[in-house]
């Protein structure tokens, strides 16, 4: 369960910004699910709003970068490739300043604090602390290539530290060598499922379910929100040798040119067969009519992926992170996703969802309180700043959607009463 995540000097974020899922002491007009953790309560969801290019997606990119570094910096990182961070570009000094990423979370009932700093060449600092019974204990701290261990960290340590490269995390190094205690921390990050791409095509769906089935609850959900889907089937077909050769060559290109998430992108060129999914709809005579995914709406395909991810998280107490949860979806469908995580009869293990959104109708949802609503905006120096609606004086029964659209909370553009396109010379073209 994630308590907080903070980041500095990454993409459009310069000064440290923090997203917290610790519940505030607020009165809400609706009943909001909260999970007791020690002396605090933790929220099941957080929604980030903001205008285009405000930096909302960069928080998700930062969490994705943290996750990828923990999982892959030792096993798949290029020993001579440095650290693929992206510092704030609008300040020259930021290029020479480390980026910082840190998370507080709970594993096995114990709170942990993990983070690192990195420049273009190496990880300059790394730390892991635990808080059993509320008291801080050092598991390890790293400064450059030097690392010190606390007495509470068991298992091999110094030998594993010798395997650590300047551009690999100790956590990644140790868990690649089967350190039992630290593997629990690695698994926390592994279980964070992040959906950054907005578009979901036929290939994405087929790839997602090539080795697993679609959860029956996902089909029920799709039917409930009015997509018309009542079932599915999987078909298999042979992959020509020439196509497999092309896929193998594409893997080489991806690893050479892809961004910091390339470690998670790989086309399996060893498979001899490919899977294709067809969704069924009820025909006029009551029988099932199967349609190719190309005949389904963009929203149906995206919802299929998101909801299947959601049910997996709900079953395990995992975390789902989605960029633009409302993309291609009706307001009611987006709200239904939030409702799943707010339902105490369904969300019994502390699953969480973090998402960005544009649909202002969700601000009036009964499944969100003020401390779950966040706004991202850029200041006059082009730096992204993040703040919660809970930080703004308001009442539980306020119309948050109207207040946001009126610009009372920030995190949006401030349109004039009438758009003056004459200033743009729109339509003044020479014949």
Q: How far is CA 146 from CA 72, 136, 174, 179, 254, in A?
A: 21, 21, 15, 19, 33
Same domain, 121 and 24: yes
**What beta strand segments (E) does 328-428 contain?**
352-356, 373-378, 384-388
Q: Best-predicted range by mean pLDDT among 3-17, 154-168, 324-338?
A: 3-17
Characterize 26-50 residue by residue with b for buried, 16 or more Cβ atoms within 10 angstroms of its Cβ, and e for exposed: eebeeebbbbebeeebbbbbbbbbb
Q: Helix or strand or coil: residue 106?
A: strand
The residue from 252, 269, 301 where one domain ends is 301
Whether residues 171 and 230 share a domain: the answer is no
Do 141 and 246 reside in the same domain of the chain?
no
Q: Is residue 430 part of a domain?
A: no
Check whether residue 215 and residue 182 sit in a common domain. Answer: no
pLDDT bin (cut points 50, 70, 90) of residue 78 is confident
What are the structure tokens assigned to 97, written together? 């300043």
User: How crowded is residue 346: how many other Cβ atoms within 10 Å of its Cβ?
Assistant: 17
| Distances, alpha carbon 191 to alpha carbons 27, 109, 194, in Å | 32, 16, 9
In sequence order, the 6+-apart residues with CB closer than 8 A to the CB of 249 are none
pLDDT per residue over 285-309, tens digit each?
Answer: 999 999 999 999 999 999 999 999 9
- Residue 283 and residue 147 share a domain: no
pLDDT at 394 over 60: yes
Check residue 268 and give its pLDDT. Answer: 57
Does the residue 410 lie in any domain? no
* Residue 170 Cα to chain centre, angstroms: 23
Residues 213 and 269 in one domain: yes
Residue 270 has pLDDT above 70, yes or no: no
> How many separate domains does the chain show?
2
Sheet holding 2-8, edge to edge: 17-20, 2-8, 99-107, 110-118, 123-130, 137-143, 146-149
Nearest in space to 85 (alpha carbons), one of 96, 93, 76: 96
Q: What is the pLDDT of residue 129?
A: 98
Mean pLDDT, the chain, rounded, equals 89
Q: Which of 220, 187, 174, 225 is nearest to 67 (CA)?
A: 187
Nearest to residue 174, comparing CAs of 187, 186, 166? 186
Q: Which of 260, 277, 301 is the last residue of a domain?
A: 301
pLDDT tens-place string over residues 196-227: 888 889 999 999 999 999 999 999 999 999 99
For residue 295, the enclosing domain spans 202-301
Sequence-distant (≥ 6) Cβ neighbours of residue 272 within 8 angstroms: 238, 239, 244
pLDDT at 60: 96
What's the whole-model pTM score?
0.88
Angle between helices 180-190 and 56-72 (to 10 degrees): 150
Among 241, 276, 301, identify where a domain stops.
301
Three-class SS state of 27: coil
Residue 411 lies in a domain: no
List pLDDT tens digits, range 171-193.
999 999 989 999 999 999 999 99
- Asked if the model's pLDDT at residue 430 lies above 70, the reply is no
Local confidence band at 311 (pLDDT 50, 70, 90 cut-offs): very high
Is pLDDT above 80 for 152? yes
Banded model confidence at residue 107, pLDDT cuts 50, 70, 90: very high
Q: Is residue 326 part of a domain?
A: yes
Question: For residue 404, is pLDDT > 80?
Answer: no
Is 414 part of any domain?
no
Residue 184: CA count within 13 A, CB half-sphere: 15
Residues 252 and 122 in one domain: no
pLDDT at 238: 82
Residue 276's DSSP bridge partners are: 235
- Going by pLDDT thresholds of 50, 70 and 90, the confidence category of residue 427 is low
Q: What is the CATH number of the domain that holds 50?
A: 3.40.50
Are the beta carbons of 46 and 19 closer than 8 angstroms? yes
Per-residue pLDDT band at 258 (split at 50, 70, 90): low
**Low-confidence winner among 108-112, 258-262, 331-335, 391-395 (lowest mean pLDDT):** 258-262
- Angle at the Cα of 117 from the Cα atoms of 114 and 123, rounded to 5 degrees: 105
């Amino acid at each position: 369960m994630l308590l907080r995540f903070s980041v500095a000097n990454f993409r459009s974020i310069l000064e440290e910004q923090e997203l917290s899922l610790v519940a505030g002491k607020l009165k809400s007009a609706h009943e909001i699910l909260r999970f007791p953790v020690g002396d605090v309560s933790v929220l099941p969801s957080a929604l980030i709003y903001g205008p285009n290019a405000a930096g909302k997606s960069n928080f998700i990119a930062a969490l994705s970068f943290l996750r990828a570094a923990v999982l892959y910096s030792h096993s798949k990182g290029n020993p001579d490739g440095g650290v693929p961070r992206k510092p704030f570009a609008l300040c020259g000094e930021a290029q020479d300043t480390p980026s910082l990423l840190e998370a507080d979370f709970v594993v096995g009932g114990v709170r942990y604090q993990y983070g690192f700093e990195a420049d273009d060449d190496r990880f300059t600092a790394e730390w892991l602390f635990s808080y059993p019974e509320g008291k801080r204990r050092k598991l390890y701290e790293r400064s450059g290539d030097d690392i010190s261990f606390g007495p509470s960290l068991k298992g091999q340590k110094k030998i594993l530290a010798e395997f650590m490269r300047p551009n690999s995390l100790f956590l990644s190094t140790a868990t690649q060598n089967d350190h039992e205690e630290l593997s629990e921390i690695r698994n926390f990050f592994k279980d964070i499922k992040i959906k950054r791409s907005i578009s979901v095509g036929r290939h994405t769906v087929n790839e997602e379910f090539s080795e697993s089935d679609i959860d029956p609850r996902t089909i029920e959900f799709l039917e409930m929100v009015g997509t018309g889907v009542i079932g599915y089937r999987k078909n298999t077909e042979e992959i020509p040798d020439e196509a497999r050769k092309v896929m193998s060559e594409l893997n080489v290109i991806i690893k050479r040119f892809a961004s910091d998430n390339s470690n998670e992108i790989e086309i399996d060129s060893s498979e001899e067969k490919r899977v294709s999914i067809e969704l069924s709809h009820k025909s006029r005579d009551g029988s099932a009519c199967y349609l190719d995914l190309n005949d389904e709406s963009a929203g149906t395909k995206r919802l299929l992926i998101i909801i299947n991810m959601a049910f997996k998280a709900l079953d395990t107490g995992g975390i789902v992170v989605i960029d633009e949860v409302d993309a291609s979806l009706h307001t009611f469908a987006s709200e239904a996703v939030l409702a799943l995580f707010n339902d105490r009869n369904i969300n019994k293990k502390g699953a969480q969802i973090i998402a960005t959104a544009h649909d202002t109708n969700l601000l009036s949802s009964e499944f969100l309180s003020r401390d779950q609503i966040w706004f991202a905006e850029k200041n006059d120096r082009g730096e992204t700043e993040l703040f919660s609606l809970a930080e703004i004086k308001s009442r539980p029964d306020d119309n948050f959607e109207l207040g946001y659209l009126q610009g009372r909370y920030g995190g949006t553009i401030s349109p004039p009463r009438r758009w003056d396109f004459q200033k743009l010379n729109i339509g003044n073209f020479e014949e």
